[in-house]
Amino acid sequence: MQPFEGIRVIDATHVLAGPFAAYQLGVLGADVIKIEDPNDPDQSRSSGTDKALNDAQMGTSFLTQASNKRSVALDLKQERDRDILKKLVTTADVFVENYRPGAFEALGLGYDALSAINPRLIYASFSAFGQNGPRGNQTAYDHVIQATSGIMAMTGTKDVHPVKFGSPAVDYATGMTGAFALSAALYQRERTGKGQRIDMAMLDVAMILMASHLTGYLRNGAHPKPHGNRHPHATNGAFAAKDGNLVMLGASNIRQQARLWKVLERPEMAKQTNDERDADHAREIAVLEEIMATRTADEWEEFLQARHVPAARVRTMGEAIADPQIAARGVIHRHAKGNGMEGSFGVPLAAFTFAHGGPRIDSAPPTLGQHNDEILAELGYGEPSPARAKA
């Protein structure tokens, strides 16, 4: 049995953070029903690296986080479709939305309205800045939050900054944090019998992603500085190897840096304290640059890992996915075929495994409104309304 078997999630979210949170519950057994406007579907359906899929409303951005979900197309501007959603809520455990704060309240679908229908409902709202505060009514995407939070200012090199992350990491972190919050609320409900209101803000998550830097600033006002591919300690950082590739060293603590200098046959470079490392930073960099240029990046990775020194050649995504370790961990699920599309494809599954009843994918991402008839029948409805028939 999976952890969330028997749990129903109404996923009224779009783009990334909200859908990814619901997806995490879905791969752990929850029945996730995705609600989309037939006239304005989730924009992720038309986003991604495959134009043909974008045109078919099955873009790779949507495929990433839509497995194990069922799709119902509802126009929530129509009273009958709002009534259908409310009836669906009576059967649900979790309701997740990520529209502009106040939008669902204006439709009569806010927390107060839906919890009156289902007091055990866990209602989660995802937004850029949260449901309150002076920025509560503002909107943003991942890169805007990176700019707002201070993450961009600390990312890049000394000469080139600010730089945003290559991945929308704040969005994905918000989705993961949201899944954790939903899991905690479900556990709490088992003990109290009461539903919960969850307010998830991307800005809050971004601040938590900088936790140690935040604490440092609050203590002494020191702004985190961009270090690029280097680190305040010389034995942490990227160096050019003989073949021109980069090898990233991770000899972080005192014990590891001593081991590194020993295996490099420069034991006199080892330090007893971090203060000593700081004082000799420039010389250590120069010595390491000279040494690392004597072997290829792959040779250094093999040599250093065999001697328990963290190190890796800097890889492309394709090279990383081809690493047998990824296959061994089961991080990626391969769909032999999909709905409304041709060919096979792969998607991320989960970042952990269970000994039993763990994350798995049982169904491919749905087309828009694919499960209208099925779910409406479960609710006791007959023919679909014209609005839903467009799907």
* Position 346 pLDDT exceeds 50: yes
Task: Report strand pairing: 8-12 vs 246-250.
Answer: unpaired
**Rounded mean pLDDT of 298-305?**
98
Among the listed residues 213, 231, 233, 356, the single catalytic one is 231
Which pLDDT score, from 0 to 100, does residue 383 have? 64
| Residues 114-149 pLDDT 10s | 999 999 999 999 999 999 999 999 999 999 999 999
* Position 366 pLDDT exceeds 70: yes
Mean of the per-residue pLDDT values of the chain:
96
**Rounded mean pLDDT of 29-56?**
97
Note the pTM of the prediction, 2 decimals.
Answer: 0.94
Q: Which helix or strand (DSSP H or E) is residue 163 part of? A: none
Domain assignments of the chain as residue spans, ordered by start: 8-209+330-389, 236-320
Q: 286: burial class by Cβ within 10 Å (0-12, 13-18, 19+)?
A: exposed
How far is the CA of 145 from the CAs of 128, 214, 247, 301, in angstroms? 7, 16, 31, 35
**Rounded mean pLDDT of 295-301?**
98
* Position 389 pLDDT exceeds 60: no
| Secondary structure (H, E, C), 74-125 | CCCCCHHHHHHHHHHHCCCCEEEECCCCCHHHHCCCCHHHHHHHCCCCEEEE
The owner of tokens 């087309």 is 367
233 is catalytic: no
| Residues 221-233 pLDDT 10s | 999 999 999 999 9
**Rounded mean pLDDT of 363-381?**
97
Helix or strand or coil: residue 218? helix
In terms of DSSP H, where are the helices of the chain?
A: 17-26, 51-55, 60-63, 79-89, 103-106, 111-117, 142-149, 169-192, 202-209, 211-220, 254-263, 274-279, 281-292, 297-306, 317-322, 324-329, 372-378, 386-389
Task: Report strand pairing: 31-36 vs 8-12.
Answer: parallel
Which pLDDT score, from 0 to 100, does residue 382 have? 73
Assign 107 a pLDDT band (cuts: 50, 70, 90): very high
Task: Report strand pairing: 8-12 vs 69-73.
Answer: unpaired
* Position 391 pLDDT exceeds 50: no
**Rounded mean pLDDT of 19-41?**
98
CATH among 3.40.1440.60, 3.30.1540.10, 2.60.40.10, 2.40.37.10 for 236-320: 3.30.1540.10
Is the C-alpha dihedral spanning 257, 262, 263, 266 positive or negative? positive
> Which fold would CATH assign to domain 8-209+330-389?
Rossmann fold (3.40.50)
Which pLDDT score, from 0 to 100, does residue 325 have? 97
Which pLDDT score, from 0 to 100, does residue 384 have? 56
**Rounded mean pLDDT of 31-48?**
97
**Rounded mean pLDDT of 242-253?**
97
Residue type present at position 51: K
| Residues 173-210 pLDDT 10s | 999 999 999 999 999 999 999 999 999 999 999 999 99
Half-sphere exposure of 240 (CA within 13 A, CB side): 6
Residue type present at position 76: L
